[in-house]
Every structure is written in structure tokens, then in C-alpha cells.
Structure 1
Amino acid sequence: MASPAEIQAILRDERKLHEIAKAAFDAVDNDHSGFIDEPELKTVMCSVAGDIGMDQPSDSDVRDVLRELDTNRDGRISLDEFKVLIKQVLELMANQ
């Protein structure tokens, strides 16, 4: 795991942040559509929940996350919208 200082360096480097977000996005975008849709989001949320020992998310949970990330309200998550999530996660990790 990266140290808080390493994470801060990533947050200050827009190119590196983009690379990390793109790699994570591509791993979730199973159909390679260039967007993450609700089924893809549910798959990744279920996987993460299982990895950390949490209950599986409900369909309602998935829709809530989709609504929060989908700032242009087109029903799917673009790379730019996903990058906001990655940045938030990194900021939380840097402050632990």
C-alpha cells in the first residue's frame, strides 16, 4: 500500500491521477463501451464488498452510487465522473 506522502504526490500529479483512474475504469468497464453502467457498477461493488467482508450491496445501493457519480444524469458513469470517485478515495487514504 502506498504511503500518505506517495498518495499526496499522486493527487498533485494530474497525469498520474488520470492514469490510475483510467486503469481502474478499464478494469470495471467489462464491455469496453467507454462507460460504466449499472450492471458493471454492481459487479465491482459486490466484489469490493466481498473483499472487505461487508454485506452485498442492494440494487438500491447500486442505484444510489450511480446517481451520485453520474453528474450529467445520462444513466452511466464516464471516465471523468469515475475520476472524481478515485480522487475522493485517494484523499481519504492520504488522511488516514
Structure 2
Amino acid sequence: MASPAEIQAILRDDRKLHDIAKAAFDAVDSDHSGFIDEPELKTVMCSVAGDIGMDQPSDSDVRDVLKELDTNRDGRISLDEFKVLIRQVLELMASQ
């Protein structure tokens, strides 16, 4: 796991942040459409919930997350929209 200082360095470096977000995005974008749709988002949310021992997300939970991330309201998550989530996660990790 990266130290808070290493995470801060990533947050200050747009290229590093982009590369990390792109790698995570590509792992979730299973159909390689260039977007994360609701079924792909559900798959990753279920996987993460299982990994950390939480209840599986409901369809409503998935729609809520999609709605929050989908700032242009096209029904899917672009890399730029996904990058906002990655930044938030890294900021949270850096503050621990």
C-alpha cells in the first residue's frame, strides 16, 4: 500500500493520476467500449463488496453511484468522470 506521501505525489502529478485512473478504468470496462455502463459498474461494485465483506449492492445502489459519477447524464461513465472517483479515493487514502 502506498504511503500518504506517495499518494500526495500522485495527486499532484496529473499524468500519474491519469495513468492510475486509466488502468482501473480499463479493468472495469470489460467490453472495451470506452465507457463504464451500469452492468460493468455493478460487476465491480459486487466484486469490491465481496472483497471487503460487505453486502452486495442493490440495483438501486448501483444506479445511485452511476448517477453521481455521470455528470453529463449520458447514462455511462467516461474516463474523465471516473478520474474524479479515483481522485476522491486517493484523497481519502492520503488523509488516513
TM-score of the aligned structures, taking structure 1 as reference length: 1.00
RMSD of aligned alpha carbons = 0.1
Asked whether 1:17 is paired with 2:12, we answer: no
Q: Number of residues paired by the alignment?
A: 96
- Structure 1 residue runs of 4 or more that deviate by more than 6 Å after TM superposition: none
Provide the C-alpha distance between the structure 2 equivalents of 1:4 and 1:48, rounded to a whole number of angstroms.
22
Match of 2:92 in 1: 92
Post-superposition offset of 1:80: 0.1
The share of aligned pairs that are identical, in percent, is 94
Q: Secondary structure at the match of 2:31?
A: coil
Q: Distance in 2 between matches of 1:21 and 1:7?
A: 13
Cα distance in 1 for partners of 2:81, 2:70 equals: 6
Whole-angstrom CA distance in 2 between matches of 1:41 and 1:33:
13
- Mind listing any 5+ residue stretches in structure 1 that lack a counterpart? none
Unaligned runs of 5+ in 2: none
SS in 2 for 1:31: coil
Q: Distance in 1 between matches of 2:95 and 2:55?
A: 25
Q: What corresponds to 1:82 in structure 2?
A: 82
1:38-62 CA-to-partner distances (Å, cap 9, x unmatched) read 0000000000000000000000000
